[in-house]
Structure formats: C-alpha cells, structure tokens
Amino acid sequence: MNRILNIVERHTHHGSKRRHGTNMAIMRKSKQFRWQHKHLIGLRDLTAEEINYILDTAQGFEQVSTRSVKKAPPLRGKVVVNLFFEDSTRTRNSFALAASRLSADTIEFTKKSSAVSKGETLLDTARNLEAMGIDIVVIRHNAAGAPKLLSKNINACVVNAGDGYCEHPTQALLDVYTIRQMKGSLEGLKVAIVGDIAHSRVARSDMWAMTKLGAEVTFVAPPTLMPGNVDQLPVRVSYSLDEVIEKVDVVNMLRIQFERLGGNPFPSIREYSRYFGLTVERMKRAKSDIVVMHPGPINRGLEMESEVADGKNSVILQQVKNGLAVRMAVLFLVNQAAAQTTA
C-alpha cells in the first residue's frame, strides 16, 4: 500500500490535506496485509480482508483519474490482453482504460476478428498470445470456468471479466466499493438483488462480496428466474419486490438476459415490469436514502423506469466511474503478486 500511495503522491503536485488524511488512514489499515493472488477468478474464495484490501487499493488509485495527466507508472513495460469472447461496453473499456492509466501496453482481442472463428481453441489462442510476451489476460467468456482453466495453463496473470453464470468479480467489487462510498460500510445493510438471478454472474459475485462484508442479501425474482440451488446460498429469498422494497438500504436491479433465456420466463414484459420493475410508484415506498444500482446495460422500462434510472437515488454512473479505480487496483495487485512469486 505504501508503494501505491507513493506512486499516487509522486505524481500529484497539490495533494490536499483531506486526501492525505484519507491515504494515511488507508495505509494504517492495510499496513500488515500482503496481497498474494496472481489471478482474480472469483470472490467466493476471497476473505473479507482481501476484498477490503482491493477496495482500499482502489481508493488510493482514484485520484489518478482527477489529474491533468491521467497516468501512473506501475505497469510500465507490461502487456495486458483484453480477451473478450462476449460483447461488453463497460467492463472492456474500463479494463482498457485502467491498463492505460497504469502505463501498460494493451492488446484488444475479439472473437469475431480472430482465428477462433477458424476453430482455434481458447488455450491455443492464449498460448499464442503468451508467446508474444503478455503479462495479464483479462478474459470474458460464455463458459463458466474458462478463466480458471486459463489460469492453470498459462503463466500470465488471469483476471475474470465475467464467465457464464458463474462470477463477475470486478463488477461486484465496484458495486461494494460504491455502496461503501455511499453508506460508509456494508455491515448490517439490507440489500435486495432483483431480477434475472438465475442467469446472473453479477448476482453471484455480489452475493459473495456483500455477505462477506456483513450485508444481508435478499434475492428477489419470479420462481422462473431464481437459481435452482438458492436454498444452499447465503441469501434470503423473496418472490415479491413489494414485500422488500420498504425495508432495504440498497436495491440492485439486474438486466433480463434475453440472450440466455431458453423459453419465456414470464407472460409478458408488462407483467414482469408490473411485479418486478423499479417504478416511480414503488420508489415512493422505499427509504428516502435507498441506493439504486444496476450493472448495465439497462432495459429501460423493464427493470426500471427511466425516471428512477436517472433519479436522485441512482448511482449507476457512479458505479461505472468507480469501476475504473477498482480495475486499476486489480491489475496492479495481480501484477504485484506475480512479481513476488517470480522474485
């Protein structure tokens, strides 16, 4: 952490007293801790201390993006590959920008314009890229387990940018970072995660991160969109948004993943929106300081009305903003762990 703060401070000409105070507090908290993972595959196996360490590190990096020259040097000379087998706006660009802010070189890989369309496997693709001298692979894949498989077969660091229905760790990290920013802590907070839980890797990573940090999480969905094994997960279950909306401090509305739905999980869009949409009417019954979140992309008018998505309780764009600092922290930490293991 000292090193991060040195990097940040060295490139800041006018660090304010307040920022210095915050940094000192972060430094004291994280002084004894040493990050040891060269891959970030998921949050299920991380401890609360490890999650908090990533968030504290992200806080240290936040100010890099406020400078006139938005760069810090820790990944200078390193190569980061964005290996995306599924579409993305937020995660992909956020990782690209995070790598660039840390002075890494970046390679953008897309399935459509690659030799994967000629039948090349994931491992052959990764090994060929590795032969060019890459250091970190950021991978999004529709197959759950693809990042883990990669991490066992290449030497570069692997960061999961979303795998099937399994995990999306950096989305959950930016979600808890945003909640911590808004509420100070997750300890004792009531969080509702609403919508297409069955197909959501965000819901799973959020569940691990939020419960480890002390929040009480309720999955809210129609039975057709609730995971089959929900009774084995550390969450409460509700089939009615009306039942929980008045009680929760945070509501995270998930996208209906039409591209992953086999059949029709609800009779009509109007029906879904009526029972599970975050409407202006429903918001009138929520706590006045409820935090409204959505990982994006939003189906406006389905998961939530536009007035709510753009309303005073919404932190949706703040989530995107925070994603940059969180991903800088993740790239920085996995690279640091890799340097320690090869030292």
| Residues forming the active site | 90-91, 118, 140, 168
Kindly report the number of other CB atoms within 10 A of residue 200's CB atom: 27
Cβ distance to ligand CP smaller for residue 234 or 297: 297
Residue 244 C-beta: closest distance to ligand CP, Å:
23
Cβ distance to ligand CP smaller for residue 325 or 337: 325
Cβ distance to ligand CP smaller for residue 171 or 322: 171
Residue 168 C-beta: closest distance to ligand CP, Å:
6
Mapping DSSP onto H, E and C, the string for the chain reads CHHHHHHHHHCCCCCCHHHHHHHHHHHHHHCCCCCCCCCECCCCCCCHHHHHHHHHHHHHHHHHHHCCCCCCCCCCCCEEEEEECCCCCHHHHHHHHHHHHCCCEEEEEECCCCHHHHCCCHHHHHHHHHHCCCCEEEEEECCCCHHHHHHCCCCCEEEEEEECCCECHHHHHHHHHHHHHHHCCCCCCEEEEECCCCCCHHHHHHHHHHHHCCCEEEEECCHHHCCCCHHHCCCEEECCHHHHCCCCCEEEECCCCHHHCCCCCCCCHHHHHHHHCECHHHHCCCCCCCEEECCCCCCECCCECHHHHCCCCECHHHHHHHHHHHHHHHHHHHHHHHHHHHC
* φ/ψ (deg, to 5) at 119: 105, 5
**Chain residues that interact with ligand CP, rule: CB under 6 A:** 88-92, 162, 171, 295-297
Residue 167 C-beta: closest distance to ligand CP, Å:
12
Cβ distance to ligand CP smaller for residue 52 or 91: 91
Residue 11 C-beta: closest distance to ligand CP, Å:
28
Cβ distance to ligand CP smaller for residue 26 or 320: 320
Residue 140 C-beta: closest distance to ligand CP, Å:
7
Residue 289 C-beta: closest distance to ligand CP, Å:
24
Strands of 216-220's sheet in order across: 236-238, 216-220, 190-194, 250-253, 291-293
Q: Which residues contact 32 (CB under 8 A, 6 or more apart)?
A: none
Residues 215 and 196 sit within 8 Å (Cβ to Cβ): no
Cβ distance to ligand CP smaller for residue 89 or 224: 89
Residue 296 C-beta: closest distance to ligand CP, Å:
5
Cβ distance to ligand CP smaller for residue 30 or 82: 82
